[in-house]
Each structure stands twice: as structure tokens, then as C-alpha cells.
Structure 1
Amino acid sequence: MQFSYTLLTTILFTLCISLHTRAENIVYSFTIQSEISPSVTRLTENAIKDAERRNAKYILVQLDTYGGLVDDADKIRTMLLRSKIPTLVFIKNNAASAGALISIACDSIYMASGATIGAASVVNQSGELMPEKYQSYMRKKMRATAEETGRNPLIAEGMTDESLEIEGIKEKGKIVTLTTDEALKYGFCNAKAENVNEILSRLPDNPTLVNHQSNLTESVIMWLINPAVSGVLLLLIFGGLYFEFKAPGTLFPAAVSLLAAALYFAPLYLEGLAANWEIIAFAIGIVLILAEIFVIPGFGLAGISGIVLTISGLALAMLRNVNFDFSFVSTDEIGRSFFMVVIAMITPLILLVAFGQQLFNSPFFEKLAPKDNLSSHKGFSVQENTLKNLVGASGKTITDLRPAGKATINNERLEVISEGDFISSGTEVKVLRIQGNYLVVTKI
């Protein structure tokens, strides 16, 4: 009986140890199949942290990319080189440019049939070669990485340097790009594999694959930087501003515009696109436009400067410039960015002209409009039910209208707004209609 109890305890203990070992014998996998950017850097950082937390035996990068930002590729390279967990990369199709640097940083490289690795010259987004200072940096990074992972540094450097001649591998004036078979021959591929299961079968102890799951923050950021979503946010920014200018004090359109601006800039900032100075330019532009409308008579330098800064801040935030260096940005990209912002700026104005009156007189807008603008102000009171009698009446402004201000109508001092135009003090005006709790006036 004692022997049976001891045997059972031993079996259960061995089984528990076996299950515990198997639970930790995992390959933690994440996928890079887009342009190398700050989001991919965050993905890599989070995946490595999760792999360490799970005590994974290996980290597997499933890669298919034509490249991307050099600085982010270097950050990813550094994280992989410093990883305490052995790193594997599975090149499904392409490991070009920044993708080649990331691949060489891994301990083991697996490639599918028909895959390629190399062509790591630094180019802008039009495919044009960047100046020598960028090429020199990339050459040395490729060489240093190959040296660190025990691969031929001359071949790695040849993936960037077209002036380099490597006997039997490349002629002068060409860039090294290796097929799967060539990579196997020259030590840049450990084995050919058509899928992840083939890679797992080559690893000891029959490991279990665990795929990285993106967190909510990563998913929201990727959704917000979608061009279609960015376009909608731009429409809300300008639409909210226009509606607030047409009906000052409503506040709801201004709140929508502010929220849209935050949702527009925040993900672009996290993605490394929107720089501090671009966000500041946008903010200064809005301030100048507000000053031109509500403080400075007429429309001049402040207003024009405000429009230019606002458009520039929004457009430049979408581009991959480095501060004031636009070497990596093509003229086509700059043109598309500014075109998108200008269209977003014009569209709400067209909609206001076409449907503004119906909207301002709608029950929804009536609820949003402030209720106390005409009810009482410094001893002058007006009953709302008498406002309709003032439509068509004439009077004179006693303050500048930018577009809101005060006027004397039928010997009553009232708060009024223009249709968006600046009207100076002392100008004869006529009441056109009631808009919420405002009287809309125009010059006579």
C-alpha cells in the first residue's frame, strides 16, 4: 500500500513537471507585414515583453516587408540583438531594405521558396536613392549586424553598397539581393521552410506556437491613421469651426472640432509623423483666425497667416519628414497631403452655403444654441416671442460684428451676428432672419 502511494505520487509529480515544462516550451510569434514604422517598433517591443513574461523558448518574427523607416528598423534591430530569448525570422516573401536589417539581426533565418532578402539601399518614398550620408549609415549598420550574428559582413554591406565588388557574388554597380537558395549557400538562411509548422518541427522538444495579440491601443491607432478616417476627422475639424463662427456661443461644434483635432494629431504623433512644431503651427493658426474674426477689424495678414499655418500644420503632420528635412518625402506626397486638407476645408463651407439655413433653423440646432443671448444683457431684455417681429427691421451696429456683436434695432440694444462678414460699428443693417436666439443681419 505504501509502495503504491509512493508510485502514484511520483507519477503525478512527474506529470506536473512535464506539463509545466511543456507550457513554457513555447515559440512566441508576431507578424510584420507592413512598412517599418513606429507602430511596428511598438509591436516588436510589446511582443518581446510578452514573450519574456511567458518565459518563451523562442521568438519568431513572421516577416514580409519592402522596408520602411531606417531609424525604426535600427530600433527593432537593437531590440532583437539584445533579446535574451533566441530570435527566429521567417521570410515569407520579401525582406527588402529595412526588412533585411531586421532579418540579419535574428539568430536564425528561415525563408520560403521564392523569397528574397537584400536590396537595402536607403531610398525616399519615390524610390530615389538618398544622399551618401544615409547610405553610409545603413552600410555600417548592415555590416555591424552581420558581424554580431556571425554572418558574412561583406555580403551584408553589399546589400547597400553598389560600389562594392564581391567576387562570385556581385559586380560593381549592383546591389546584393539573395534568393532562398543563394541565402542558404552564403549563410544568410538556416533552412528553407514553406510554413511555420515546418520551422517548429526543426526545433527541439516539440514547442507550442503562441501568436501575439495586438492590444486595444495599437488597434485604435491603426484605425485612426487610416486615410479615410483621417479625412473624416479633417471634415469635422473645419466643419465644427465654421459652425461655431456662424453661431458663436453654441459650443457643441467647437467641442466636436477640438475632439476631432485631438483624434487626428494624437495617433500621428505616436506614429512619429506629427512633430511638435507642426501641432504648434496648427494651434497658432487657429488662434490667428479667431483673432482676425473676433478682435482685429477686417480680414488681413493675421487671417491669411492663420489659414496658411492651419493648413500646413494639418498637411505636414501626415508626412514622414524629419523636422525640417523633407528628403524622404516626394513632391507627390506633399501635393496629395495639402490637396486632402484643402478639400476638407472647402467641403464644409460648400455644405454651409447649400444647407446652412435649414440646419440653423432645425430643431436640433435650436436646442444647441445658447438660450440667454437675447433674454437679458446689462439691463436690456427682449422676449423671445417678439423676435419674429424684428425680421425685416433696420438698425445700426454699435460694436464691430466679427461676426457677433451688438446693434440697435427699433430702439432696442440687441446682440446680433452677421452672415460671416465683418461689419464695422455704426453701419446701417437689416435683420434677415432669426438663427437660434440670434438676429442675423446684413449691411443695407
Structure 2
Amino acid sequence: MRTLVSTRRARSAALLLFLLIGPALATLGLAEEGDPPVAATPRVLWVPFEGVIGTVASHFLVDAIDEAEKRAVDAVVIEIDTPGGLDTAMREIVKRILASRVPVIVYVSPSGSRAASAGAFIALAAHAVAMAPGTNIGAAHPVNLGGAPSDSTMSEKATNDAVAYIRSIAEERGRDAEWAERAVRESESTSAGDAVRLGIADCLAATRAELLQLLDGREVRIGGEATSLRIRDAVIEELSMSRRYRFLGFLNDPTVAYILLMLGFYGLFFELSAPGHVLPGIIGAICLVLGLFALKSFSINYAGLALMFLGVLFFAAELFVPSYGALTAGGAAALLLGSVLLFRSPAPFLRVSLAVILPAVLVTVAFFAFALAMTLRIRKRKPTTGRRGLIGQTGVARTAIRPRGTAFVSGSHWNAESDEPIAEGDEVLVVSVEGLLLKVRPSGRSRKDG
């Protein structure tokens, strides 16, 4: 009897289990025979960048691609606007793009933007290139970062190296290698529309949504394997520069670096010329360190930096050595020459404009000229303290001075001596000071000490 009950319970449990699992199995079978399951919504990491390609840019964009791989997004879009920059920074970015496990799309945007010089290399290295109307790409001829005129052999070597590099990138991405070579050798630049017709860019897109729609389904190669972009209606996750990168980007400007150096010079000069104020020295030291830190992002001429230091030393020496303006003139010349020679690159965005240098030098000269004038004025001023300050002072004879007596001068009683008899109460004029004895004479006026 107990066995029969157990059997019935087992059959009931099996029937219940079948009723619960059966519909799920039927649904699974229908799903396999019908439409494919709905795919997850695609995601795109959007990275805007505007500015010079330098150390900060390379770190930021390399970190952005690392972040895209970490998030496992379907693509990363670098929205770029750059006049170019340093070759070393550009190569770091290109190497990271070529090694990326996530498709990298370079989008030259908004209208009026450009991907010039180093920016052209970066764009050609991307898996896909899009450009907004009114943008351009090219002008990738290498510049001499040394500043001084280079011989034809060195210039030809640099050009040939850049040509080989950009051709290899273009061939890797299936783009027009001949145009890429002309961009380097002849500094050829192309508008957005022509770039699409030449195969330099893949599409012309005015908006983000249009870019995602036009590039959706495009085949790219990741790690040697072909894959298709699935980015239509993708969720955009924007990755902007952090405060740290924005601060470093602010410093990554030759004009900012130059101004920080000048402020550093001023602060340290104030502190050394008038010790004890502390604040000018602290501000000067901080500005000087930040300025020197910013300089490491650029190719600089150390002779120019030395001339700037020498100019400030000349200005400071003028306050203590009476050279009648010779040190001030020398300081102005050294500061101006050092400022012009400091940045070695002929590229305008990698050096300080004369519109900044000339006012800075003129303000410095005016300040030190004012300080020199005040110093000379103080030196010529008649002493008003100490024993020398008593000469020329007037006082009152406390006793008759024939030839010696006492006089009240500058709030104190003094032993006095005179070659002429002076009556008590008469006004006296101090002629000289010998130890604790005043040499006096009658001032010409007589008054009684009331």
C-alpha cells in the first residue's frame, strides 16, 4: 500500500514538472526555428579632442582606447580638430590605434575643423574616417623641430621617413597611398568632399547620428580578421578630458609656459631683493617649476633659457651695482633674445608669438627701470637717521657755548662745540658730528626755550 502511494506521488510530480518545463521548451524551439534573438543595443565611446598633438594628447587618446577596450564597446569615435603637433606623440597614438581590439573611427568635426600634419597620420591610421562638411585633411610635411636651418640631406631623410610611414599606414587601411605621399612631400591638403571621392575618408557626416548610420555595416579588420561595424542607433558614451588632463592641456601651451617662467622670475626676484615677504617667493617658485614642467613638452633651445636667466640677473644686479643703465640695457637684450630663441619649432602653434614676447619684455624693462630710478633717488637722498642724519639739523643751545656747551638737537641732549660764541636759548645748526660731539654754529636766529 505504501509503495502504491509513493508511485502515485512520483507520477504527479513528474506531470507537474512537465507542465512547467514544457512551454519553455516549446518557446525555445520556436525561437530557434523563427526570428533570431534581439541583439544587445550597440555602444560607442565618443572621445572629443581639440588642440595640438603633444604629450597630453597622446596620453589622453591612448587612455581613451584602453578604456574602450575595457568597456567592450562596439567602436570608439575620436572627434578631432588639430593643426598637428609633435612627431613622437603622433606615433604613440598611431601605434595604439593600429593595435586596438576595438574599431577606431576618426571624425574630423565640427565644420571648420582640420586634421592637419600629425592629425592626418592619426586619421589615416583609423579603421574608418568620417569628415564633417567644411573640414579638411592633409598638409603633413614634416617641420624641422630644431628651429635652425637644416641641410638638405637631413631634410630629405626626415621627409623620406615620413613618406614611408604614412604610405605604410595608408596601405594597411586600404587608402590612397599616392595621395598620402603627396600630403607629406607637397603638403597637399584636401577638403572633406574631395577626401571622400579620393577614398581618404569613408563618408561625409554632418551629425553624430548620420555618422553612425553611414558607417554601420562597414567591414574593418581587427587583428587581421574582418568584422563589420554594428553601430546604427548606438548608445553614445562620451569620454571627455578629466580635470587633470585639462590642467595639463592648459600647461601644454608655449605661451602659458613662457608666462609662467616670467612670473617665476618676478616672484623669486621680489623675495631675494626683500627677504621675509614669503608669498612672492612661494608664488614665484611654483610658477617657475610649472613653467619648466611645461617646457618638457616642447623642443626648446637651452641657450635661449640661459639668456632669459642672464637677463633677469642683469636687471637684479642693476639695483645693487651703479652701472648707469648698462646692466638694464644688457638685461633687456638678453631677455628678448632668449625669449625669441627659447622655442625651436618653426610651427607657429609650437612657439611664442612676438605679440606676447615684446609686451612681456617691455613690461619687465619698465618695471626694473622704475625700480632703478627709485633706488637712485633713495641713494641721493640726504640721510635722515643716524649720526649722518644730524648734519643740517637745527636745535637749541641749552647752555652758553663758548666754545663748548650743550645743545638740544633731534630730541636729545648733545655736547656741542662752536667756533663762534652762542648764547643760551639761541638756535644752532649742526655742521658735523665727531663721535658724541656736535660741531655747531649759530643759525642766525635767536629764541628762548620757554
Residue pairs, 1:372-383, within 5 angstroms? none
Q: 1:153, 1:246 → 2: CA distance?
A: 62
**Alignment correspondent of 2:8:** none
1:362 paired residue number: none
Q: What does residue 253 of structure 1 align with?
A: 280
1:147 is matched with which residue? 171
Give the drift of 1:68.
3.0
After superposition, give the CA deviation of every residue in 1:194-235 in whole Å (9 maximum; x if it has no partner): 111112232526422122221222211233456775576355
Residue of structure 2 aligned with 1:86, choices 103, 116, 121: 103
The residue that corresponds to 1:137 in the other structure is 161
Query: Partner of 1:365 in structure 2?
Result: none
User: Quick one: structure 1 residues 65 and 250, their matched pair in 2 at CA, closer, same or farther if it must change by over 3 Å?
Assistant: closer
Q: Quick one: which of 132, 154, 164 aligns to 1:112?
A: 132
Does the residue aligned with 2:162 lie in a helix, a strand or coil? Answer: helix
Residues 287 and 114 of structure 1: is their aligned pair in 2 closer, same or farther, counting only changes over 3 Å? closer
Q: 1:256 to 1:193 in 2, by over 3 A?
A: closer
The reply on whether 1:390 has 2:386 as its aligned counterpart is yes
1:198 pairs with 2:210: yes
Q: What is the rounded CA distance, in whole Å, between the counterparts of 1:50 and 1:59 in structure 2?
A: 10
- Relative to structure 1, is the Cα distance of residues 39 and 351 closer, same or farther in structure 2, using a 3 angstrom cutoff? farther
Q: Distance in 2 between matches of 1:390 and 1:20?
A: 94
- Which runs of 5 or more structure 1 residues have no equivalent in the other structure? 12-17, 163-174, 358-387, 396-444
Is the 8 Å Cα contact of residues 265 and 274 (structure 1) preserved in structure 2? no
Give the direction of change, closer, same or farther, for the CA distance of 1:355–1:231 in structure 2 (3 Å limit). farther
1:345: how far off? 3.0
- Partner of residue 267, structure 2: 240
| Residues 235 and 154 (structure 1), Cα distance of their counterparts in 2 relative to 1, 3 Å cut | closer
* 17, 39, 46: which one aligns with 1:29: 46
SS at match of 1:151: coil
Quote the residue 2:65 is aligned against: 48
Q: Give distance in 1, aligned partners of 2:131 and 2:88.
A: 25
Q: State the distance in 2 between where 1:54 and 1:330 align.
A: 35
8 Å CA contact 2:97, 2:104 repeated in 1 = yes
Partner of residue 200 from structure 2, selected from 188, 193, 212: 188
Unaligned runs of 5+ in 2: 1-15, 28-36, 217-228, 377-383, 392-450
Larger Rg: 2
Q: Judging changes above 3 Å, is the alpha-carbon distance between structure 1 residues 7 and 42 closer, same or farther for their aligned structure 2 residues?
A: farther
In the alignment, is residue 223 of structure 1 matched against residue 247 of structure 2? no
2:298 is matched with which residue: 269, 272, 275? 272
How many correspondences in the alignment?
337
Distance change in 2, residues 1:390/1:251 (3 Å) = farther
In 1, the alpha carbon distance for the partners of 2:93 and 2:157 equals 21
Q: Distance in 1 between matches of 2:351 and 2:52?
A: 19
Normalising by structure 1, we get a TM-score of 0.59
Normalising by structure 2, report the TM-score. Answer: 0.58
- In 2, the alpha carbon distance for the partners of 1:331 and 1:87 equals 28
The CA RMSD over aligned residues, in Å, is 5.0
Quick check: 1:124–1:329 contact (8 Å CA) kept in 2?
A: no
Aligned partner of 2:194: which letter? E
Q: Contact between 1:29 and 1:209, CA under 8 Å: does it hold in 2?
A: yes
Q: CA deviation at 1:389?
A: 5.4
Structure 1 residues 152 and 110, CA gap change in structure 2 (3 angstroms): same
CA contact 2:52–2:349 (8 Å) conserved in 1: no
Q: CA deviation at 1:60?
A: 0.8
CA distance in 2: counterparts of 1:340 and 1:273, whole angstroms: 23
Shifted more, 182-191 versus 280-289: the winner is 280-289
CA distance in 2, matches of 1:88, 1:310: 46
Structure 1 residues 158 and 307: alpha-carbon distance in aligned structure 2, compared to 1, 3 A threshold: closer
**Counterpart residue type for residue 177 of structure 2:** P
Partner of 2:400: none
% same residue: 22
C-alpha displacement at 1:257, in angstroms?
1.9
Task: Name the amino acid aligned to 2:102.
Answer: I
Indicate if the aligned counterparts of 1:59 and 1:85 stay in contact, CA closer than 8 A. Answer: yes
Aligned-residue offset at 1:103 = 0.9
Shift of 1:265: 1.9
CA distance in 2, matches of 1:26, 1:331: 37
Change (3 A) 1:213 1:337: same
Aligned to 2:241, the other structure's residue is in SS state coil
Q: Is the 8 A contact 2:312 2:335 kept in 1?
A: yes
Residues 1:221 and 1:193: Cα distance change in structure 2 (over 3 Å): same
**CA 1:177–1:220 in 2, change beyond 3 Å: closer, same or farther?**
closer
Provide the residue aligned with 2:117 in structure 1: 97
AA partner of residue 72 (structure 1) = A
